[in-house]
């Protein structure tokens, strides 16, 4: 079987847009109806079916599963090529969209993310594993950019290589560690590691050996999200009791003794914000799980 590159597959898809077939024209009409219906949300499964016909030579269905993921917090979408447990071959493709990052953003962001990941799925089908091991290492090489630019021009979309939802991503990085070594004074990270999951910095991180050699400091957790109701219920009575705080003590605390008209008194003042989250950049680049 001859080798097909991303560029070859992109050109084949572009060729189908020169003169639309009857099925493609029907899909285009359906897409335009959806995009102009004024609704704040969109059915990604219905839209994906139309895009499959319009832009991807009807190759994506039924092989690609489109899913919403509540656990995807570092990227807006991801396309995974995985092994089929029945055939033991890498033929399963899952296109996942981030519920946390996209649910409150304009639906155009969902549509552009859907098309972005659909391009990856198309290349997985036409070029197999060679796509994820492209020259740029991320699957966003010349073939991806060629097809993304063509779709952007054809449908007035805004498919980009990377998303810009940095504030949303950072809001889910609620587990924070601070290093006590020299790197705590070095920009741009100042020894801070922020993650969306409770995974302490360690040997599994690609940068760990360099940190050990150049800094050698120890990471201490300084911030974590409040436990969920389910986690609190799973705690022992002793653990729950240890979490109880006097409400007045939470708002006020005694100040040093002051002399007033010859009398000694305790002055109460509002408590300082001792539990404020540490600010700073995350410890690495945006994760591209498989390709995203």
Adjacent-strand bridge partners of 31: none
Distance of alpha carbon 205 from alpha carbon 221, whole angstroms:
16
10's CB contacts (< 8 A; 6+ apart) are 143, 144, 146, 147, 150
Rounded CA separation 165/116 (Å): 15
17's tokens: 């847009």
Among the listed residues 140, 107, 120, 18, the one whose alpha carbon sits nearest the alpha carbon of residue 60: 120
Q: 268 by DSSP, 3-state: which?
A: strand
Residues identified as active-site: 117
Q: DSSP strand E in the chain: where?
A: 64-69, 77-83, 90-98, 175-179, 192-195, 219-223, 252-254, 258-260, 263-265, 268-270
């Amino acid at each position: 079987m001859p080798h097909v590159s991303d560029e070859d597959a992109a050109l084949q898809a572009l060729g189908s847009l020169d003169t639309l077939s009857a099925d493609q024209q029907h899909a285009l009409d359906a897409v335009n109806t959806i995009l102009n219906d004024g609704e704040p949300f969109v059915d990604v499964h219905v839209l994906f079916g139309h895009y499959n016909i319009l832009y991807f030579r009807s190759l994506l269905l039924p092989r690609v599963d489109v899913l919403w993921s509540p656990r995807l917090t570092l990227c807006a979408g991801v396309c995974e090529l995985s092994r089929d447990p029945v055939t033991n071959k890498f033929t399963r493709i899952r296109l996942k969209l981030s519920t946390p990052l996209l649910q409150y953003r304009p639906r155009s962001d969902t549509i552009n993310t859907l098309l972005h990941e659909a391009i990856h799925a198309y290349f997985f089908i036409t070029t197999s594993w060679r796509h994820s091991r492209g020259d740029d290492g991320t699957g966003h090489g010349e073939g991806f950019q060629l097809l993304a630019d063509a779709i952007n021009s054809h449908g007035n979309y805004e498919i980009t290589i990377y998303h810009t939802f940095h504030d949303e991503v950072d809001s889910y990085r609620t587990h924070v560690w601070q290093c006590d070594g020299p790197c705590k004074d070095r920009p741009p990270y100042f020894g801070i590691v922020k993650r969306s999951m409770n995974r302490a910095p360690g040997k599994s991180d690609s940068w760990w050996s360099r940190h050990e050699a150049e800094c050698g400091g120890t990471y201490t957790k300084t911030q974590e999200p409040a436990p969920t109701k389910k986690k609190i219920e799973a705690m022992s009575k002793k653990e729950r009791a240890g979490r109880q705080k006097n409400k007045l003590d939470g708002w006020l605390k005694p100040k040093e003794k002051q002399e007033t008209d010859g009398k000694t008194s305790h002055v109460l003042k509002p408590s300082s914000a001792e539990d404020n989250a540490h600010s700073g950049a995350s410890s690495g680049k945006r994760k591209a799980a498989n390709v995203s």
